[in-house]
Amino acid sequence: MADMSDFEYARDRIMMGIERRKLSMSDKDRLLTAIHESGHAIVCYFTPGAKKLYKATIVARGSSLGATYMVPDESDMLSTTKEKVLANIDVAMGGHVAEKLFVGHEKVTTGCSSDLRGATNLAYEAVRRYGMFGEDAGYLSVDVKDVSQEHNALIDEQVKKILDESFARVKELLLRKEQEIRNLSKNLFWYDYLDHTEMEKVIRGEELPKDKVRIWDI
């Protein structure tokens, strides 16, 4: 969990120049969660091939402090494309990259672990099962366990390349969309929950005509 200095770093990047009262520990967690979920949402919204953004929330449920939801693509039940696979990996990477950029490399939370695991699993499936990557190595598709160490090493190398390139793409996107990240993080903090239409308005810089959950501005 982030300490006060960690939180202030994130607050200064996202809430720059806005006066606020002292926040409780739970509100610090809420803001950090808002930054994380905004990363997912912004990547989803601006990435070609990504699923349609549905809603985002920072209301805790079970072990999850928040969530970003997308509309399932029914066509993916039969087959998918390389573009969609890369988009899914980028969206999964969005929360982790947002924390690194706007909270700090040394202040990333454990909430990123499941996202990174999901991105890694998608990359392995695309390489091992579908043969979508590995042009320089003659492609690497193999849906069996008993393969050589050399072949597995090539697969691992290709997966690392996919994840490194995804991180770079997402970082570049979020830096370009820093104002949108700020707007979305603030509004998720204020309202706890935003649907697709509300997120579109916030991304465009519009105000939302509803009462804030928080009783003060930050």
pLDDT per residue as tens digits for the range 38-85 = 999 999 999 999 999 999 999 877 667 788 999 887 766 667 899 999
Band of the pLDDT at 3, cuts 50, 70, 90? very low
Q: Is 106 contained in some domain? A: yes
Name the domain count of the chain.
1
Mean of the pLDDT values across residues 135-144?
57
Alpha carbon distance 200, 18 (integer Å): 23
- DSSP letter for each residue of 141-153: ----S---HHHHH
Model pLDDT, residue 16:
40
- Starting at the edge strand found earlier in the chain, the sheet holding 52-57 runs 67-71, 52-57, 193-195
Other beta carbons within 10 Å of 31: 25
Q: Is 25 contained in some domain? A: yes
Q: Are 18 and 216 in contact (CB under 8 A)?
A: no
Q: Is 30 contained in some domain? A: yes
**Percent of the chain topping pLDDT 70:** 73
Kindly report the CATH number assigned to the domain that includes residue 123. Answer: 1.20.58.760
pLDDT at 4 over 90: no
pLDDT at 111 over 70: no
Q: Is 209 contained in some domain? A: no
Better pLDDT: 211 or 38 = 38
Mean of the pLDDT values across residues 170-190?
94
Q: Is 47 contained in some domain? A: yes
Q: Is 218 contained in some domain? A: no
Most confident range (mean pLDDT) of 2-6, 9-13, 64-68 is 64-68
Nearest to 5 by CA among 111, 113, 110, 106: 106
- Active-site annotation, residues: 37
Q: Is 90 contained in some domain? A: yes
Model pLDDT, residue 211:
81
Q: Is 15 contained in some domain? A: yes
Other beta carbons within 10 Å of 148: 9
Other beta carbons within 10 Å of 161: 15
pLDDT at 9 over 60: no
Band of the pLDDT at 20, cuts 50, 70, 90? very low
pLDDT at 218 over 50: no
Q: Which domain holds residue 70?
A: 4-203
Q: Tell me, yes or no, if the pTM score tops 0.85.
A: no
Model pLDDT, residue 153:
82
Band of the pLDDT at 105, cuts 50, 70, 90? low
Better pLDDT: 27 or 164 = 164
Model pLDDT, residue 168:
97
102: helix, coil or strand?
helix
